[in-house]
Structure 1
């Protein structure tokens, strides 16, 4: 298996307002993107599992023209609230990095 962090151009996260975070997975090679896409690994159910939220709360977008996937989901703790350790949501992408891709 290949880990996503070894083949994706970027895996990143950022706030989508104070109550949500957006995750981006991007490729810079169309053939590689299509190979990963064909596996069906990157899907809303996986994002829900990785981030411990119901799948119904994952807004998932596959965007082939940009060789990318985007998922928006609720933050466990609102940005800037007591207990929040990532005000900008910029460190929330870590669970994506070790996704096993069977290519």
Structure 2
């Protein structure tokens, strides 16, 4: 099984407000973008983050070879149960996801 780095992509995540985290998948070529936009499915991402697939927000920007996925935070940012105040750890989960090829 392949991972994002094997395809030629890097993931970065960031806080997108108190209720959302956004993960950007930067592809190093149009070919990698075309492959990953088909392979990274919403149901896979939803399962990874344990959220409803219908709650995801997904944007594919072909001119930049970027896939942006926003997921609801499991807890409100800054609450005492928040384990990732800046949303930076979400990218690691997506980067390590085994992609079906």
With structure 2 as the length reference, what TM-score do the two structures score?
Answer: 0.86
Alpha carbons 1:8, 1:25 under 8 Å: kept: no
2:96 — aligned with what? 98
For the pair 1:24 / 2:28, whether they are aligned, the reply is no
RMSD (Å), alpha carbons: 1.7
CA distance in 2, matches of 1:55, 1:66: 25
Q: Secondary structure at the match of 1:2?
A: coil
1:58 aligned to 2:31?
no
Q: TM-score, normalised by structure 1?
A: 0.84
Q: Which runs of 5+ in 1 are unaligned?
A: none
Match of 1:48, SS?
helix
Whole-Å separation in 1 of the counterparts to 2:51 and 2:27: 25
Are residue 73 (structure 1) and residue 71 (structure 2) matched?
Answer: yes
Cα distance in 1, alignment partners of residues 97 and 35 from structure 2: 15
> Which consecutive residues of structure 2, in runs of 5 or more, have no partner in the other structure?
none
Instruction: Using the TM superposition, give the Cα deviation of residue 46 of structure 1 relative to its aligned residue in structure 2, in angstroms.
Output: 1.4
